[in-house]
Every structure is written in C-alpha cells, then in structure tokens.
Structure 1
Amino acid sequence: MKILIVKLSSLGDVVHAMPAVQDLRRAYPQAQIDWVVERGFAPLVRRCAGVNRVIECELRRWRKSPLSTPTRLAWRAFKAELQREHYDAVIDLQGLSKSALVSWLARLAPQGRRYGLANQTEGSGFEAPARWVADVAVSLPPHIHAVTRSRELCARAFGYAMPVIQSFGLLADVDKAQIAIKSIASEASGRRVVALVHGTSRADKQWPLAAWRTLAARLNDSGYTVALPHGSDEEQTMAQNIASGLAHATVWPRLGLDALTDALAACAGVIGVDSGLSHMAVALDLPHVQIYNFDTAWRTGPQDTTRQVSVYCHPAPDVDAVWRAWLGVSAGIVTP
C-alpha cells in the first residue's frame, strides 16, 4: 500500500501530525508512507520514523509571485515529483484550500481514494475545498486535541482502532546531540542544560523578559545552565537580554531544524511558550513545561504525561507557577 500524507505547515502542526504516521505504520507495517510539506519543515519530517519520501513544496513563497518564471519552473518540478507515484490513499490532514490543491493533484492508484476532514474543529482552520476534494470526508468531534485530530482522521478513514500508546517517532541523532550540546555550551561542564524557548510567532503568546530572567536565575541556582535558542534577530536580542548577567547561560547560534532537534534532545528539559520548538520538546519526550497565556492547552499542549505539563494563566502565568511545574516534571511528578 502507498499512502501520501499532506500536511504542509506550520512547525507545530507538522509535529502534531507525526503520531498519525506511527499509527499507520502499526496498522500497515509494509506500507510506503510519503509526506508533502513546506521546504522549511522538510528536515523535521525526514526525522519522522516511517516516512519514505519527503516531497517539498514552497506554496508560501510561490503565491507571492505566481506568474514569475522561477515560480512556474519550481511549480512544474514540484508537480512532477508529486505525481511520480500512484497512491492507494491520499490523506489531507490540514483541511485548507492549499492542502486540498495538493491532494487533488496527487495521482491515485486504480482503487485509490482521497481522505479529508468533513468539518472544522475548534481552533483549527478549515476551508470548503478540502471537503469537496475528498472522496471520503471524515467527521470528527469539534472539541479535539490537534494530535488526536490527525490520529482519529486516519483511524476512521482506514477502519482501525486508534492505539492507546501514542508515539511521535521524531528521531534525534544521539551522538550528534551530545556533540552539539558540548560545542555550544562547553562551559556547562558538570551542569545539565535546560533550553528556554522564549520565541513565538505571536506577540500575545510571549512571556515577559523579567519572568524569563527570574526563572533562568533559579535554574542557575539549582545547578543548570540555561540555553537560549532563537530564530530571528528579534529573538536573538531577547535571548541576549535573558542571558545578560547570568553565570551559566548560553545563547545558541541560529540552528537549522536538524541541529535544533539534536541539540534539544541532549538537554535535560525544556521550558517554553506555545511554539513549534516546545512541541518538538514534547515529541522528543523531554521533561517540559509549556507556558500558555490563553486557555488553549487542551488543544495543543502536552497530553497526559508525568514528564510534560502546561501552565496557564491570563494575562500570563507567574514565575512561581512555572517553577513548581518544572520541579514536578524534572522529578517525574506533575502536580495539579
């Protein structure tokens, strides 16, 4: 059986789709599973166990100049790569017009079918073309976690029971991880490293600088070095401001997703806002505290684990609440 997953973006959404791939692998161990994704997230999908071929697209970039010669050439190459195979199942896990277009372009085997969402779920995007393109549209409960949304869609489409055990299948290179963490935090000799994920694409999800600095100081006092990843100039400035004056803090260089995966995997844990990197920490099964300024952790936050927990308060959780949560997950005991 040949299966095509269509989940184009963004980072957190791509991570949330990975357990569905692991479920499919359990149900169909011999299946070939391919995945269409935006090029920027392709390195992460290549780390997902069971994915055979990653088909890269750049719809975000192409739509800015759809008629230009470079775009037309790139589109033609993408379409040729997409249509190399004939699939027994094409599964649109995104439910948007752009993912519907990709699903529609993909070639089916003689008895192949396209599967997709029949309805919108709370807090997630949904556009009508996704329903029109699907040969089989699957109805899901409106109040559903983002991970369960993809897993349940696949389970109902193929008629198997969703496994009790959830696995993301995100693979890190242990040797490279140790090298990475030593090279970018060499001063942490004898100290474990906790990554502070402060960056997010939405300003209203950020946590105050003063809170980060207080938390980082407590981690230093408890024997940890804090590591500060960043993905933009603005985030780099924030990282430098958090690290300023701390005895044990390192601002990581700007890393690609491959190196970030390995570096995070080598950490003792992660504390971060609702962002793609925080969701990667969950997928890597690290001790993790996820900070929410909005009551949306039920949809995207960690699920039922003693190693990971979300902390919510509006306008923002205080440092004491986050610290208590960290003490719980680092000890393997989550407190209410």
Structure 2
Amino acid sequence: MKILIVKLSSLGDVVHAMPAVQDILRALPEAHIDWVVERGFAPLAQRCQGVRRVIASDLRRWRKAPFSTDTRGAWRAFKAELQLEAYDAVIDLQGLTKSALGSWLARLSPGGQRYGLANQTEGSSFEAPARWVAHQAITLPAHSHAVTRSRELCAQALHYRVPDELSFGLVTQQAQVSRASAGMASASGLRGTVALVHGTSRADKQWPLAHWRALAQRLNATGLGVVLPHGSPAELQTANDIAQGLAHAQVWPLLKLDALTDALDTCSGVIGVDSGLSHIAVALDLPHVQIYNFDTAWRTGPLAESPRQCSVFAQPTPSVDAVWQAWLGVSAVA
C-alpha cells in the first residue's frame, strides 16, 4: 500500500505528525510512506523512521514571487515529483488550503482515496478547502492534542486502532555530531550538559533573561554544563547574554536542522519554551521541561504518558523555582 502524508509545516507540527507514521507501520508493515513537507523541515521528515521519500515544497518562498520564472520552474518540478507515483491513500494532516492543494495534486491509484479533517480542533487552524478536497473528511474530538489528532486521523482513514505505544521514530546520527556540540559534554568535571532552548517565534512565549541565567547557574552548581542553540542574530545575542560569566556554558554555532537534532541527542536533557526544538527534545525522549506562559501545553506539550517530560505553566510566566523543581523531577526519572 502506498500512502502519502501531507504535513507541510511548522517545525513542531512536523514533529507531532511523526507518531502517526509509526502507527501506520505497526498496523501496515508493508506500507510505503512518502511525505510532502516544506523544504526547511525536510531534513527532519527524512529522519522519521519508515518514510521512504520526502517531497520538498517551497510554498512559503513561491508565494513571495508567484509569477517569476524561477517560481514557475520550481512549481513544475515539484508537481512532477509529487506525481511520480500513484497513492492508495493521501492523508492531509494539516487541514489548511496549502496542504489541501498538495493533497489535490497528488495522483491516486485506482480506488485510491484522499482523507482530511472535517472540523477544526481547539487551538488549531482549519480551512474549508481541506474538507472539500477529501473524499473522506473525518471528524475528530474538538479537544485534541496535536499528536493525538494526527494519530486518530490516520487510524480512522486506514481502519486500525491507535496503539497504546507511542513512538516518534526520530533517528539521529550521533557519530556525526560536530566537535563544537560535543565539546561541552566531555568538559572536565561535568556530569553532562543541558540544552536551554530560549528561542521562539513569538515574543509572548519567551522566558525572562534573568530567569534563564538563574537556571543556568543552578545547573552549573550541580555539575551540569549549559549549551545554548540559536537560529537568528537576536537569539545569538540572548544566548551570549545567558552564557556571560557562567563557568560552564557554551553557545553552539549556527547548526542546520539535522545537525542540531543530532547535537540535542547528545545532551543529558533540555529545558525550553514552546518551540520546535523543544518538541524535537520530546521526540528524542530526552528529560525535558517545557515552559508555557499560556495554558496550551495540553495540546502541544509533552504528553502525560512520559515521566521523563513535563510542562510548567504560569502567568505571566513560570518562576525559576517552578521550572527547577520540574527539572529535578524529570531528571531523577532519567
């Protein structure tokens, strides 16, 4: 059976779709699964166990110059790659116009079907074309975690029960981790490193700089080094500000997504705000505390099944003590 998953973005959403792929493979071991995703997240989809082919889209870039020669040529190439094979099932896990377009363009085998969402769930986006394109639009509970939503949609589309086991199937290559990312872990006298994921796409999700510095000092005092990833000049400045004056802190170089995933997997744990990197930490099953300024962890945060991971919520923002106690809890289980 040939199955096409359509989940274009964003980073966290791509991570949240991975368990659905693992469920399909448990139920249908002979299935061939391809995935349409935005090019920037393709390295992560390629790391998802069981995905045979990743079809990269540049919709975000194409929308900036839709009628340019380059865009027209790239669009034709994307469409040709998407239609190389015919699929028995095309499953739109995103429920947006852009994902519906990918589902509609995909070629079906005789008897093949397109599946998608029939309704919006709390806190998620939904656009009507996703329902119109689907041969079968599936209604899901309004109060659904992002991971559960994708798993349930695939299970209903392909007629199996969601398994009790949860696996993301995210494969890493620790042997290829750069010297810069592994150096802190081998520093003399340290028992490990913790990555502090301070960067996020929204300012209202950020945690105060003073809190990060106080947390880093506590980690250093217990023999743990601190490593600081970043993805923009502003995040680099914040990373440098957190590291300033600390005995055991290292600002990582700017790493590509696949290298960054490998680097995170060398850490003893991760503490971070609601961001794509934090969701990668969940997928890697690392000891992890996720910090929320809004009561939305129920739909995007670590699932309650894992004692090694938890979320901390408070307004206007969680205290250092609350995050520290949560870290002590998850790191003790590890």
Deviation of 1:232 (Å): 0.2
Could you tell me how far apart the structure 2 residues matched to 1:249 and 1:198 are?
A: 14
Instruction: Tell me which residue corresponds to 1:11.
Output: 11
Instruction: Tell me which residue corresponds to 2:325.
Output: 324
Task: Kindly report the root-mean-square deviation, in angstroms, between the aligned alpha carbons of the 2 structures.
Answer: 1.2
Identity %: 72
- Number of equivalent positions: 333
Instruction: Tell me which residue corresponds to 1:164.
Output: 164
The superposition leaves residues 111-135 of structure 1 with CA deviations (integer Å, 9 ceiling, x where unpaired) of: 1000000000000000000000000
Contact 2:180 / 2:253 at 8 angstroms: preserved in 1? Answer: no
Instruction: Tell me which residue corresponds to 2:49.
Output: 49
The superposition leaves residues 20-43 of structure 1 with CA deviations (integer Å, 9 ceiling, x where unpaired) of: 000000111011100000000000
Could you tell me how far apart the structure 1 residues matched to 2:176 and 2:325 are?
A: 32
Could you tell me how far apart the structure 2 residues matched to 1:73 and 1:8 are?
A: 20
- Matched letter for residue 306 of structure 1: P
* TM-score with structure 2 setting the length: 0.98
Could you tell me how far apart the structure 2 residues matched to 1:145 and 1:152 are?
A: 10
CA gap 1:231/1:184 in 2 versus in 1, 3 angstroms: farther
Deviation of 1:189 (Å): 5.7
Could you tell me how far apart the structure 1 residues matched to 2:175 and 2:244 are?
A: 30
Deviation of 1:186 (Å): 5.5
- Matched letter for residue 312 of structure 1: F
- Matched letter for residue 162 of structure 1: V
Q: Give the secondary-structure state (helix, strand or coil) at the position aligned to 2:245.
A: coil
Deviation of 1:237 (Å): 0.2
Aligned pairs for 1:179-328 within 5 A: 181-183=181-183, 187=187, 190-304=190-304, 305-328=306-329
Instruction: Tell me which residue corresponds to 1:114.
Output: 114
Contact 2:180 / 2:252 at 8 angstroms: preserved in 1? Answer: no
Could you tell me how far apart the structure 2 residues matched to 1:147 and 1:36 are?
A: 18
Could you tell me how far apart the structure 2 residues matched to 1:212 and 1:251 are?
A: 14
Contact 1:181 / 1:267 at 8 angstroms: preserved in 2? Answer: no
Could you tell me how far apart the structure 1 residues matched to 2:28 and 2:158 are?
A: 10
- Matched letter for residue 313 of structure 1: A
Deviation of 1:173 (Å): 1.2
Q: Give the secondary-structure state (helix, strand or coil) at the position aligned to 1:67.
A: coil
CA gap 1:83/1:184 in 2 versus in 1, 3 angstroms: farther
- Matched letter for residue 283 of structure 2: A
Instruction: Tell me which residue corresponds to 2:30.
Output: 30
Could you tell me how far apart the structure 1 residues matched to 2:270 and 2:178 are?
A: 16
- Matched letter for residue 109 of structure 1: S
Could you tell me how far apart the structure 1 residues matched to 2:178 and 2:283 are?
A: 18
CA gap 1:189/1:49 in 2 versus in 1, 3 angstroms: farther
Could you tell me how far apart the structure 1 residues matched to 2:188 and 2:77 are?
A: 46
* TM-score with structure 1 setting the length: 0.97
Contact 1:18 / 1:168 at 8 angstroms: preserved in 2? Answer: yes
Deviation of 1:188 (Å): 5.6
The superposition leaves residues 66-89 of structure 1 with CA deviations (integer Å, 9 ceiling, x where unpaired) of: 000000000000000000000000
Contact 2:184 / 2:225 at 8 angstroms: preserved in 1? Answer: no
Could you tell me how far apart the structure 2 residues matched to 1:251 and 1:188 are?
A: 18
Contact 2:115 / 2:134 at 8 angstroms: preserved in 1? Answer: yes
Could you tell me how far apart the structure 2 residues matched to 1:303 and 1:56 are?
A: 29
Deviation of 1:185 (Å): 5.7
Contact 2:174 / 2:263 at 8 angstroms: preserved in 1? Answer: no
Unmatched runs of 5 consecutive residues or more in structure 2: none
CA gap 1:283/1:180 in 2 versus in 1, 3 angstroms: farther
Greater shift after overlay, 169-178 or 297-306?
169-178
Could you tell me how far apart the structure 2 residues matched to 1:276 and 1:189 are?
A: 31
Could you tell me how far apart the structure 1 residues matched to 2:189 and 2:81 are?
A: 47
Could you tell me how far apart the structure 1 residues matched to 2:172 and 2:189 are?
A: 22
Could you tell me how far apart the structure 1 residues matched to 2:187 and 2:206 are?
A: 28
The superposition leaves residues 141-168 of structure 1 with CA deviations (integer Å, 9 ceiling, x where unpaired) of: 0000000000000011111110000000
Deviation of 1:182 (Å): 2.4
Is the counterpart of residue 104 in structure 1 residue 132 in structure 2? no
Is the counterpart of residue 148 in structure 1 residue 112 in structure 2? no
Deviation of 1:183 (Å): 3.9
Could you tell me how far apart the structure 2 residues matched to 1:213 and 1:122 are?
A: 34
Could you tell me how far apart the structure 2 residues matched to 1:178 and 1:311 are?
A: 31
Instruction: Tell me which residue corresponds to 1:138.
Output: 138
- Matched letter for residue 329 of structure 1: V
